[in-house]
Structures are given as structure tokens and as C-alpha cells.
Structure 1
Amino acid sequence: MHQTFSRACFTILAFILFSMNAFSQTKINHFAVYAKDLKESAHFYEEVVGLTPIDEPFKDGLHAWYAIGYGLSMHLIEREKPWKEPLIDKTNHLCFSVEDLEAFIEKLAHHDIPFEDAVDNKGKINIRPDGIRQIYIQDPNGYWIEINDEY
């Protein structure tokens, strides 16, 4: 009887563990951004966007890694030459949230970086239907970045 009970418990536990693994949600680990000039892009993401560099395991001078919150990271990658122009559209963008959008806009002015709203109006702030304010900027490679105040 004890052996049958143990076997039943093992079978139930195995089923539960299999089910948890089989139905677990896929989660994001990191995203990578193709950089034409790693130093210029690193300066932008550190000084303008405000990301914190983290250990870069490759140590090859072609990568920079940044913490982006919740244990996630962003990787800048400079490929060996030649640079291949990516197709860039505002619809495909990264989004970062800041606590103080006005302070961020002041930082943009300090760095002479223009911003616009979602429909290309220069110097304008977009307000989403849920009240979140957002602007769009471009990094040194031309990629679009949304900055919003959903902090």
C-alpha cells in the first residue's frame, strides 16, 4: 500500500512539474540594437537615455550591455564593417519610461536632440488615450525610441 501511495504521489508530482513547465510563459531576456559606432551609441544610451552599463562578457570592443530593469538587459552590438543601413520606421521602436518627462526633455535640449510626438509634430508631446504622455527621439543609428511617463 505504501509503495502504491508513493508511486501515485510521484506520478502526481511529475504531472504537476511537467504541466508547470509545459505551460510556463515565455519571457523576454534582452533585446539588441545594431550600432554603427559603438562609442557614440553607448554615450547616447548612457548620457541621454540614462541607462546603467553592466558587465559585458564578450570583451571584444563590439558590445555594450545595459540594465533596463526587472533583470532585463539591452545589448548594443557593432558589427564588423561594412555598416548595413537598417530599415527604420517609428512603428518599430524601443520604449523607456521616465519619472519626470519635463526633466528628460530638458536633458534632450542640453544635448541638442530633437523630439516629436507620435504623428511627427516636432517638439510636441503626445498624450495617449489613457493619459500617459510620450515623445519620440532617434538614437545615433536612426532607431526610434519612445520615452513616456508611465513610470
Structure 2
Amino acid sequence: MLNAIHHTALICSDYQRSKHFYSEVLGLTIISEYYREHRDSYKLDLALPNGSRVELFSFANPPARLSHPEACGLRHLAFSVTNIDDVVSKLTTQGIEVEPIRVDELTDKRFTFFADPDGLPLELYEE
């Protein structure tokens, strides 16, 4: 049946700001970038080291996403990391607010949350 998650698609409010955040701040590799003139929309394909992808889309005037209080639907996007302290340090030195690191009571793994430029909750999960 299912093998893995191939990609996660995100719609951003400011394409250049989000492109910088996902490629420069988080370090995802740009695979391809398309401008779809008929939709006045960009599509940016980004890769993580394990081959999974993030697709970043821009659309004119997308509605805001309700994050707080938590709404029904996608709750957050979690990234696996080897050393959470190193990643948190890199993010905070770039001015990204990161919640205190917690320990998952079910797995004893460390994790934390931060947000992308549009407030989408992102998680770091140490493996």
C-alpha cells in the first residue's frame, strides 16, 4: 500500500520571504521553481536529505490559516533531526523564536516547535 509521504504542499502569503525561510534558514534544497503565468503563481519544489519534498505555492490573497486555537485539519509539519540543540541554536541565531525543548512522554524523544513566516507550526523531532 503506502510507502512514505512524498511531499507536503504549503501555500504562503509572501513567496520570496517563504522561499528564503525554507531554502536558506531551514536548508532545504531547491529542486525546481516554476512561475505559472496563467495563475500568477509560483511553485517551488524543495528536497530534504531523505528524498521527501516540500512544495511551496504562492497565490494571490490566500485566506489566513487558523493555527491558534488549534483547528481541525493539518496540525503541524514535523522534521526529523539528529541533534535538536544544534538546529535550535541555528534557528535562534537567525531570529527565529523556538519553544523550549520538551520530552515526548510516550517515546522519551526530545522535540520543540517554531513557526514559518505565515505562522504554520513546524516541529523538530530528535531521532
TM interval, shorter chain, is 0.7 to 0.9
- Aligned partner of residue 18 in structure 2, secondary structure: helix
Higher strand fraction (1 or 2): 2
2:57 maps to 1:77: yes
Task: List gaps (5 residues or longer) in structure 2.
Answer: none
- Aligned partner of residue 142 in structure 1, secondary structure: coil
- Aligned partner of residue 95 in structure 1, secondary structure: strand
TM-score, normalised with respect to structure 1: 0.69
Q: Could you say if the C-alpha distance between residues 46 and 126 of structure 1 is closer, same or farther in structure 2, counting changes exceeding 3 Å?
A: same
Structure whose CA Rg is larger: 1
Distance 2:87 2:3 in 1: 32
Query: How much is the aligned-residue C-alpha RMSD, in angstroms?
Result: 2.0
**Percent sequence identity over aligned pairs:** 30
Answer yes or no: is the 8 Å Cα contact 1:94–1:145 preserved in 2: yes
Structure 1 residue ranges (4+ consecutive) displaced by more than 4 angstroms after TM superposition: none
Instruction: Name which structure has the greater RCO, CA cutoff 8 Å, separation 6+.
Output: 2
Q: How many residues align?
A: 118
TM-score, normalised with respect to structure 2: 0.81
> Which letter maps to 1:45?
Y
Task: List gaps (5 residues or longer) in structure 1.
Answer: 1-23, 117-123
